[in-house]
Structure 1
C-alpha cells in the first residue's frame, strides 16, 4: 500500500467534512425552495377549487331560486270552479302575493255549491273521489251543482322524498291553466290508480301519461314543460298555506285541518266517505227546501249502489 505524500490530490478529512456540510446546506435550501413552491401551488389549487365550488353553488342557487311568477289561470279562488257541462269557469291568473278571489255561490240555493280540498296522496281523498266522483259529475253536468276543487300539498313529506303531493298539485294547476275543461277528468284520473301514502308516488313521466290517458289533447307540450319545471310550486305552497291558516270564505269552518275537507253550501260534510247515498242526502239537506219545489235545474239524487 502506498501512503499519500504532500503531492496527494485527495481531500483531507476536514475538507470532506466541510464539503458534506456545504452539500447538506445546499440540499436543505433546495428542499425549502421546493416546499415553498409546493405550498404556493397547493394554495393556488385550493383557491381555484374553492372558486369553482363557489361558482357551482351560486349557479345552483340561482337556478333554484326563480322569481315567483303568477299563479295558474282559472284558479283565482285557489280552486277550479266547474259548472254545467263540466266546463271550468275562466278566471285570470293571480299575480304574486295577490289575495285569492272567492267564487260567488248561487244566491238562490237552486244550485248546490260543492267545494273539496284534496291532496292527491291522501287515501281518504281517494275514497271520497271513488265514491262520489261519478254522481258529482252528473249533478254538475246537468247544472244541479257546481264543484270547486282545491288541490293542496299537505302530504309533501310522505312520499319517500319525491314530493309527490306537491308535484301532483302542480300538475293539476298546469292542466287548469292550459286545458281547463279537461281538469275534472284529469283530477279523477289521478285518483283512479292513486299511489299509497309513504311510497314514491308517480314520476313526472307517469304524471304526463295520466294527462294523456285522462283525455287532455290540447297544449300537451306546454303542460309537459310546466310539470318538468314545477312551474306553479310557489303557488301550490302559498295556496296550501292559505287553506291551512284560513279564513275559508263562505264556510262554516275557519280553516282546513285535514283532507278531504268537503263543503256543501258552506257546511262541512263529516259523514261517510264511502257511502254515496249519505253524501247525496247531505247535499239535499244543505241545499235546503229549494230542492223540494219545482225548479229549472234538476235535483241531485243519489247514484244507485252497484
Structure 2
C-alpha cells in the first residue's frame, strides 16, 4: 500500500487548534445561554415588582377610599312614612354610625306600624299584599305611620343572584333619591315578588319597577342599582337586627320575617286575614292610650225645707 493511499492524520498543532476552536464555540454558546437566562430573570423580577406595586396601589387606594355611607332618609335603618305618604327626611349616615331610633308618637294621634321585611320572603309577600291597601289608607290619612325596614335575610336563597340584597339596595337607592316614591316601589316589589330559591328579578327588571312606581329620579336610581351602592349598608342593617334589640319593642332580636310591630307590640296573627290585623291595630291603640275612666262624683242637689 502506497503512502498516497493512507488517510492523512492531523498534526499535533492542528489538533490543538481544533480543540481551542471547539472550546471557544462552547464558551460562546455558554455566554449566550447565560445572557438569555439573565434576561429571563430580569423580566421575571420586573413582572414581580410591577405586580407588587399594583397590589400595593390597590391596597392604598382601598384604604384611603371612604366606605360607603348609608342612604339618606333611612337613619333608623328604615324609612318612616306618614300623612300623605310623605317620607321623613334624614341625612345620610356615616358608615360606622349607630341608627337613630324614631321616637313613638306620644300624642296618640297616629298608630305606629313598623315592619321588618325581606323582598324574597313568601310570608312577607302574603302579609304585604293582604294589608297594603288598609295600611296605605291609614297612613295617607294621618291615622298611622309606617316604618319599613328592608332586610336581606334570604340573600342566599336565590340561586346565587343575591336577589334579596339587590332588591334591598334598590329600595335604599329609591329612599335616597326619591323617598316619597318608596311606598309605591315597595308595593311593586311585592306585587312582582319572585319565588324563593329562584334567581329572582334581574337588575333591569327591578329598574323597570322603579320606573313603573313613578320614581322621578330614575337615572340616578338606575346608576345606584348598577353600583350596588348600599349593599354593605344593607348587610350591616341585617347584622344589627339579628344582634338586637329591636327598638321601641320588647323583641330581643330578629328571628324571622316578617316582623310586624304595632305601637311596639308584635303581631303574630294571620298573614292573610286583613280583618284580624285591623282588629290588632285597634286593640294595640286602645291598650297604648286608654286611661281609666274616673268614677263620677254625685252632685249634691238642694232640697226644700218641709
> Given the two structures, how large is their TM-score scaled by the length of structure 1?
0.83
1:26 Cα deviation after fit = 2.8
For 1:122-137, list aligned pairs within 5 A: 122-137=121-136
> Given the two structures, how large is their TM-score scaled by the length of structure 2?
0.83
CA separation of 1:200 and 1:288: change in aligned 2, threshold 3 A: same
Query: Which residue of the partner structure matches residue 235 of structure 1?
Result: 233
Alignment RMSD (CA, Å)? 2.9
Q: Distance in 1 between matches of 2:122 and 2:214?
A: 24
Query: Which residue of the partner structure matches residue 195 of structure 2?
Result: 196
CA separation of 1:269 and 1:62: change in aligned 2, threshold 3 A: farther
Q: Distance in 1 between matches of 2:4 and 2:146?
A: 119
Query: Which residue of the partner structure matches residue 300 of structure 1?
Result: none
CA separation of 1:69 and 1:16: change in aligned 2, threshold 3 A: same
For 1:20-169, list aligned pairs within 5 A: 20-54=18-52, 57=55, 66-169=65-168
1:35 Cα deviation after fit = 2.2
Say which SS state the counterpart of residue 98 (structure 2) adopts.
Answer: coil
CA separation of 1:42 and 1:106: change in aligned 2, threshold 3 A: same
Q: Is contact 1:172-1:183 (8 Å) kept? A: yes
Say which SS state the counterpart of residue 181 (structure 2) adopts.
Answer: helix
1:59 Cα deviation after fit = 6.1
CA separation of 1:22 and 1:152: change in aligned 2, threshold 3 A: same
Say which SS state the counterpart of residue 284 (structure 1) adopts.
Answer: helix
CA separation of 1:162 and 1:230: change in aligned 2, threshold 3 A: same
Say which SS state the counterpart of residue 3 (structure 2) adopts.
Answer: coil
Unaligned runs of 5+ in 1: 294-306
Q: Distance in 2 between matches of 1:56 and 1:85?
A: 53
Q: Distance in 2 between matches of 1:59 and 1:19?
A: 59
1:291 Cα deviation after fit = 9.2
1:49 Cα deviation after fit = 3.0
Unaligned runs of 5+ in 2: 292-306
Q: Number of residue pairs matched?
A: 290
Q: Distance in 1 between matches of 2:179 and 2:204?
A: 21
Q: Is contact 2:248-2:264 (8 Å) kept? A: yes
Q: Is contact 1:110-1:287 (8 Å) kept? A: no
